């Protein structure tokens, strides 16, 4: 027994970018076509990214160059979420020190807030986002204002960002510098917090959105915190093994091989007497092992294994990998 297509239960898809739509410089096979088909199913599409330095126009143009459907009003970065989060915490016309890109400053102004250049202007708030041009003086100004009592919002706290030459420090490292200097912590808009997902859903008018991402600790955790259903797509960072071992608040509702699987039936979860079934596969927990009736290459076998293990460890707060035994 199977349900209707997975996508049929939702009115919007909130999709991560890298690892979901593209990998590096190339589109993931079938991703653009799957996203294009959402319009025909009357399902809204939003892209959610922690990037706070590129404008929505630039991100949309990049996605279109890869064949994916994208308009600027479908792209939601942590800069927009941060600006809206800040506007909800200070009065209209408040002075804001922007430590970040021109894109971030423009979004803050669009919230009827005044951008000021330094802590000497006694800003009511500080918003901190990534820009490769930021230096020590910028971080010092942020620290002066935060220490003086300004409301502090960070667009995201990604500790690293991939670059052509390797992994470089991300916004989280710069936020950490200000936190170390002031002994304070910001309110965070981006993944894995809920604000970015809530912003995207609100703008596209979604009441029942599905978050699709490739990372448990950002996409899935953030979607779960926003109270949305989440799908881990296996075209990026995380795997079936890491999903099985995930802590309780990083567990996805669905495991799918690619975006194309949104249009396929998803097996109904059935359980009885400690045996969890997905499709033709089943699994049960014995101590620290999961006994799986199914092939290791069968995704339903892994879905059953996750269901069994997660049910046995509902509040698991550390990564814990069980032993797996497949019968065929």
Q: Which residues are catalytic?
A: 16, 18
Strand 281-286 with 275-278, pairing? antiparallel
262-290 CB burial, b ≥16 within 10 A, e <16 = beeebbeeebeeebbbbbebbbbbeeeeb
Do the Cβ atoms of 240 and 231 come closer than 8 Å? Answer: no
Q: How far is CA 156 from CA 81, 128, 161, 240, 285, in A?
A: 10, 8, 12, 27, 38
Residue (of 175, 115, 114, 107) closest to 142 by Cα position: 175
205: preceding bond cis by omega (within 30 degrees): no
User: Taken in order 155, 158, 159, 163, is the CA torsion positive or negative?
Assistant: negative
Residue (of 320, 212, 194, 216) closest to 256 by Cα position: 212
DSSP readout, 119-185? GGG--SEEEE---TT--HHHHHHHHHHHHTT-EEEES---SEEEETTEEEE-HHHHHHHHHHHHS--
Q: How far is CA 262 from CA 5, 30, 31, 95, 207, in A?
A: 7, 11, 11, 45, 18
């Amino acid at each position: 027994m199977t349900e209707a297509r997975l996508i049929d239960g939702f009115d919007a898809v909130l999709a991560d970018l890298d690892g979901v739509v593209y990998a590096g410089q190339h589109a993931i096979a079938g991703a653009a076509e799957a996203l294009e088909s959402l319009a025909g199913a009357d399902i809204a599409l939003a892209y959610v990214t922690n990037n706070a330095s590129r404008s929505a126009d630039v991100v949309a143009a990049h996605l279109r160059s890869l064949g994916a459907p994208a308009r600027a009003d479908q792209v939601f970065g942590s800069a927009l979420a941060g600006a809206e989060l800040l506007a909800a915490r200070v009065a209209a016309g408040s002075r804001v020190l922007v430590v970040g890109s021109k894109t971030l400053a423009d979004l803050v102004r669009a919230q009827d807030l005044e951008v000021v250049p330094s802590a000497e202007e006694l800003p009511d708030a500080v918003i901190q986002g990534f820009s490769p041009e930021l230096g020590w003086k910028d971080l010092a100004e942020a620290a002066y204002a935060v220490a003086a009592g300004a409301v502090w919002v960070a667009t995201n706290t990604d500790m690293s960002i991939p670059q052509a030459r390797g992994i470089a420090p991300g916004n989280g490292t710069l936020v950490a510098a200000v936190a170390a200097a002031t002994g304070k912590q910001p309110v965070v808009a981006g993944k894995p917090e809920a604000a970015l997902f809530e912003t995207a859903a609100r703008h596209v008018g979604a009441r029942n959105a599905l978050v699709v991402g490739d990372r448990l600790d950002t996409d899935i955790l953030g979607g779960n915190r926003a109270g949305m259903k989440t799908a881990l797509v296996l075209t990026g960072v995380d795997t079936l093994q890491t999903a099985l071992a995930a802590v309780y608040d990083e567990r996805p509702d669905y495991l799918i091989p690619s975006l194309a699987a949104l249009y396929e039936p998803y097996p109904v979860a059935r359980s009885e007497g400690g045996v969890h079934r997905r499709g033709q596969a089943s699994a049960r927990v014995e101590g620290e092992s999961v006994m799986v009736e199914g092939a290791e290459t069968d995704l339903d076998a892994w879905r059953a294994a996750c269901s069994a293990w997660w049910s046995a460890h509902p509040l698991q707060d550390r990564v814990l990998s069980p032993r797996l035994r497949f019968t065929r």
